[in-house]
Amino acid sequence: MVSVAADVECTDAVEVTEPIGVDLGVKELAVVSDGQIFKNINKTRKLKQLEKRKKRLQRRASRHYERMVKTRCKKSRGLEKLEKQIRSVNNKIRDQHTNHIHQMTSKLVKTKPAFIVIEDLNVNGMLKNHRLAKAIQDNRLAEVRRQLEYKCNWYGVKLIIADRFYPSSKLCSDCGHKKTDLKLSDRTYHCDECGMTMDRDLNAAVNLMQYGMRELSA
């Protein structure tokens, strides 16, 4: 048996697609400058059912804890069983989120965009908003960034992190006018200067893509 080794030059060049900006958020997990939308799976039926089950189990466990304090007794087998069930539900919820983020980040990177731009989100600061804290925590935005960083490194895609204070949501992606009175409840961006109207998150994603283009041309 004879084996032969040879160096072969690969001629199949990977086609690089257009650059993209990715706006991460609460209403949707991510909106991309090319129009792609990755949903917030917390709103899906499966995740809602898991969250309801967790709350029911936690309420039952809470009653067990109260009885333990009053009677000064040891942890019962029933409570141990409840704690095991709660851990199981938490693991299922975490796995659903991790899988969803993996699918999203892989899809973005494998298209080989010229570059990807995301914001340097102050997640810890955002969590101080008590009305949005749970939604922000559930979307695991820090995990999205972590996965994008190592996958971009694997696939040779440049990842640009926009400055934390870059007003991507307030700028008009058409003329650059800054809308200082934009509220969080305003889901549609309307420019008072040029009249452009666009979905708020899509406008932010386009601004992020344009930010990347300026960074590379500077």
Q: Which of 15, 138, 193, 201 is catalytic?
A: 201
Is 23 an active-site residue?
A: yes
- E strand or H helix at 159, and its extent? strand 158-162
Report the relative pairing of strands 158-162 and 115-119 from DSSP bridges. Answer: parallel
29, 39 Cβ separation under 8 angstroms: yes
Q: Which of 95, 119, 149, 186 is catalytic?
A: 119
Q: Of 150, 141, 31, nearest to 97 (Cα)?
A: 141
144 to each of 5, 101, 128, 183, how far by Cα in Å? 41, 6, 20, 25
Q: Which of 23, 51, 66, 174 is catalytic?
A: 23
Query: Helix (H, G, I), strand (E, B), or coil: what is residue 175?
Result: coil
Q: Of 153, 29, 7, nearest to 97 (Cα)?
A: 29
Residue 124 CA to residue 140 CA, distance in Å, equals 12
- Residues with a catalytic annotation lie at 23, 119, 201
